[in-house]
Amino acid sequence: MSGEELEHSYNVFVFVQIEGARTEIKRKWINYNNILDELYELNERTLINEIKYRITDKENDKKVFKDVLKRVVNKSSRLNLLIKSI
pLDDT of residue 2: 78
Domains identified in the chain, total number? 1
Domain of 29 in residue numbering reads as 3-84
Contacts of 42 (CB under 8 A, 6+ apart): 72, 74, 75, 76, 79
Span 67-82, pLDDT tens digits: 999 999 999 999 999 9
Span 45-58, pLDDT tens digits: 999 999 999 999 99
pLDDT of residue 1: 74
The structure's pTM equals: 0.92
pLDDT of residue 8: 94
Return mean pLDDT, the chain: 95
Please state, in angstroms and rounded to a whole number, the distance separating the CA atoms of residues 56 and 58. Answer: 5
